[in-house]
Amino acid sequence: MNNLFIIALFTYQYFYHHKKWYLSVFIIGAVFQTIALILIGNRNHLSFFYSVQISNLFLISSFALTSFGLLSFDGKLRKKTLWLFGIFTILFYSSFLAVGNDNALRITIQIIASSFFYGIGAFYLFINKGKYKFPIILSIVLSSYSIFQVIRASVIILHSGQSYDFMEGSAIDNCYLIISLFAISASSIGLIMLLKEIDQKTILQKNAIIQKDKLELEELNATKDKLFSIIGHDLRSPFNGIMGFLELLLENIKKFEAEKSEKYLKLTYLSAKNTFNLLDNLLNWANSQTKQVYCNPQKLILSSIIQGIIDLSISNTKIKDIKLHYSQSEIIEVNADENMLTLILRNLISNAIKFSKKGGNIKISTNVTPRLAEISISDDGVGMTKETLEKLFDISKNTTSCGTENEKGFGLGLILCKEFVEKQGGNIWVDSELGKGSDFKFTLPLYSVCL
């Protein structure tokens, strides 16, 4: 009756709660054991073939199936263990047939088979417990049962000279019946509790995924709002400024002196260049949000990349009469993506120019640690408050700021710098004080470390 209840319980679990393959294996094992017990119980009405040989085929198979079902609670199909169980099922049954009518030896083979399969099951449950606690309980139950079976086999072997009949009800066999009932019940309850524990862990994991998706959705919404803000306002304003300057020049080209015309042309050029940088940042940022930016690190001479960006920035520094200082101390080879590094340096140098006053100074320096190259871009410009520093690299909190010559800020450059530095295995940070300037620093891995 106990077995029938277990079969009914786990069949219900399989069809209505946990349709897992290992649960069906456990159920088949319980069915095989029930068939074996029915055949053995009717031995007075059945032939030797059915009551002994066939019943023990089902019994030995049930040991293997129930144990394999239990140890597979994590859903992994352990093919090597499956082959091992299959081979030993055949070996145990062949040994059983080979001993003929020796009842004591047949029982001993049954005991060794159950100890072997449940012992392996206990071992696998323990080593693969993961974050669950009920596999440990199941492992203890199966281990205890296996140890008792070994003791029982030893008693039978010691009395091998005497005739043995399990149904006579010796003390050790009576203990076996009680312990078997306890082991079956405890294993069934343990498996039910394990399934419940797995459900709870699954729910927690799903909740964590939902929470993660929620945060990503919030970030995407912030990204969308930022994108619409840039396209709708920040991108329109520079074009209005460029068109306004050009219109003013066209209308007054004969009235303006060369010096005044040059002034407006410089302003137009500066506005056009800033707008181009914005478009470039916007394109890179959009690509990064859609996972279309790929990092291809290679050996780069850091001074060559820095000097290239300085050469491109000379016109901007001349407009504001800013001195840009850079002296190469040594040849530093970094493992970085050239396009990403170029964008990082361009944005940080442009940012320093933007917030520097006329006649200001910008210093670019490099330093080497055992594993990283550190690049610093510092200025003596307007600096930042602590509140601004806290939201500098957060797109959902980032706000635009105008430069010392009313240059427009778009808030994307530093966001991209942080993302691209981290993609290359580095870090970025800033030290700044209001009215005293800012010092942006970032690190990149040395090429020699990545070999």
Strand partners, 333: 301
> What torsion, rounded to 10 degrees, do the Cα atoms 322, 306, 304, 325 define?
40
Give pLDDT tens digits for 194-209: 778 777 888 888 888 8
Q: Which pLDDT score is estimated for 362? A: 93
The answer to whether residue 430 scores a pLDDT higher than 90 is yes
Mean pLDDT of the chain, nearest integer:
80
* DSSP-derived pairing of the beta strands 323-326 and 361-368: parallel
Structure-model confidence comparison of residues 25 and 402, the more confident one: 25
Q: Residues for the chain: how many in total? A: 451
Q: Which pLDDT score is estimated for 121? A: 84
Give pLDDT tens digits for 364-383: 999 998 899 999 999 998 88
Pick from 142-146, 386-390, 420-424 the range whose average pLDDT is largest: 420-424
CB 382 within 8 Å of CB 409: no
CA 255 to chain centre: 67
CA 235 to chain centre: 38
Pick from 27-31, 93-97, 377-381 the range whose average pLDDT is largest: 377-381
Percent of the chain at pLDDT exceeding 90:
13
Q: Which pLDDT score is estimated for 129? A: 74
Structure-model confidence comparison of residues 387 and 176, the more confident one: 387
Tokens 């079976």: give the residue: 149
The answer to whether residue 169 scores a pLDDT higher than 60 is no
Q: Categorize the per-residue pLDDT at 167 as very low, low, confident or very high, splitting at 50, 70 and 90.
A: very low
Q: Which pLDDT score is estimated for 98? A: 87
Q: Which pLDDT score is estimated for 172? A: 57
Q: Which pLDDT score is estimated for 378? A: 94
Characterize 384-395 residue by residue with b for buried, 16 or more Cβ atoms within 10 angstroms of its Cβ, and e for exposed.
Answer: beeebbeebbeb
Percent of the chain at pLDDT exceeding 70:
81
Phi, psi of 49 (to 5 degrees): -60, -45
Q: Categorize the per-residue pLDDT at 287 as very low, low, confident or very high, splitting at 50, 70 and 90.
A: low
3 state SS for the chain? CHHHHHHHHHHHHHHHCCCCHHHHHHHHHHHHHHHHHHHHHCCCCCCHHHHHHHHHHHHHHHHHHHHHHHHCCCCCCCHHHHHHHHHHHHHHHHHHHHCCCCHHHHHHHHHHHHHHHHHHHHHHHHHCCCCCCHHHHHHHHHHHHHHHHHHHHHHHHHCCCCCCCHHHCCHHHHHHHHHHHHHHHHHHHHHHHHHHHHHHHHHHHHHHHHHHHHHHHHHHHHHHHHHHHHHHHHCHHHHHHHHHHHHHHHHCCCCCCHHHHHHHHHHHHHHHHHHHHHHHHHHHHHHHHCCCCCCCCEEEEHHHHHHHHHHHHHHHHHHCCCEEEECCCCCCEEEECHHHHHHHHHHHHHHHHHCCCCCCEEEEEEEECCCEEEEEEEECCCCCCHHHHHCCCCCCCCCCCCCCCCCCCCCCHHHHHHHHHHHCCCCEEEEEECCCEEEEEEEEEECCCCC
Give pLDDT tens digits for 38-47: 888 787 788 8
For the ranges 263-267, 345-349, 365-369, 390-394, the lowest mean pLDDT is seen at: 263-267
Residue 57 to residue 61: CA distance in whole angstroms:
6
Q: Categorize the per-residue pLDDT at 226 as very low, low, confident or very high, splitting at 50, 70 and 90.
A: low
Q: Which pLDDT score is estimated for 445? A: 93
The mean pLDDT of 167-188, rounded to a whole number, is: 62
Q: Which pLDDT score is estimated for 446? A: 93
For the ranges 238-242, 259-263, 344-348, the lowest mean pLDDT is seen at: 238-242
For the ranges 109-118, 168-177, 439-448, the lowest mean pLDDT is seen at: 168-177
Q: Is the pTM for the entire model greater than 0.85?
A: no
Give pLDDT tens digits for 320-351: 888 999 977 678 999 998 888 988 998 899 88
CA angle at 255 for the pair 253 and 259, rounded to the nearest 5°: 80
- How many Cβ atoms sit within 10 Å of the Cβ of residue 404? 16
